Amino acid sequence: MKVIIADLKKTEKIAQDLAKKILSAGWREKNKKAVVIGLEGELGGGKTALAQFFAKALGIKEKIQSPTFVIIKKYQIPNKFQTNSKIPACHRLRLRRMAGRQISNFKTFVHIDAYRIKNPKELLALGWKEIISTPQNVVLIEWADRVKKILPQKCVQIKFKVVDDKTRKITI
C-alpha cells in the first residue's frame, strides 16, 4: 500500500489504523513472538512522528522521543488495552465487542532507534532476541534498514520518502 501524505493528520490516521490492526482479535493469536514494525527512510521523513502517533494510539500517555542515544526505550501499554490470557478466546472477543475498544495481550511497547548502530550484532548485545521472543511486546524500530539482517521475516515494513518540504510518500 502506498500513501501520499501532506500533513501530520494523515500520519496520525495511518498510525491509528496500524495500532487497531495490531491490537485486533486475531493478530495476537496468530503470532507466538513479538510484533515487529520496521521504519525506513531518510532523516526528516516522518519516522518519529509515526512512532509518536502509534504509541498514543496504544494508549501511552508519556512523551515519546526517538531513543537515539539510549537506543531502546520501553513503555507499558495501559491495562485498558490488555485482557487476561486465561480467558478463553471466544470470551475475549465478546469482551472486546462489549467494551467497544481494542483489547489485547500486549503489555510493552519497545521503541528502538537503530540510527547509531553500525552492526546488527550491537542490537543482539542489548537483548534483541529476548525482546522479539516475548509475545507481549510490540516493537517499533526506526532506521530498521540498519539492522535488516536480524529482523524477523514477519516484520511489518514501512518506508518513508520525502517528496518535498511538506509531502511524504509512505509505503507499507
Residues 6+ apart with CB under 8 A from 28: 104, 105, 106, 135
- On average, the pLDDT of the chain sits at 85
Amino acid at 76: Q
Which residues constitute the domain of residue 141?
A: 2-171
DSSP 31: -
The number of distinct structural domains making up the chain is 1
**Chain segment 44-81, per-residue pLDDT in tens:** 889 999 999 999 999 999 999 888 889 999 999 997 55
Evaluate if residue 17 carries a pLDDT over 50: yes
Evaluate if residue 31 carries a pLDDT over 70: no
Q: What is the CATH number of the domain that holds 77?
A: 3.40.50.300
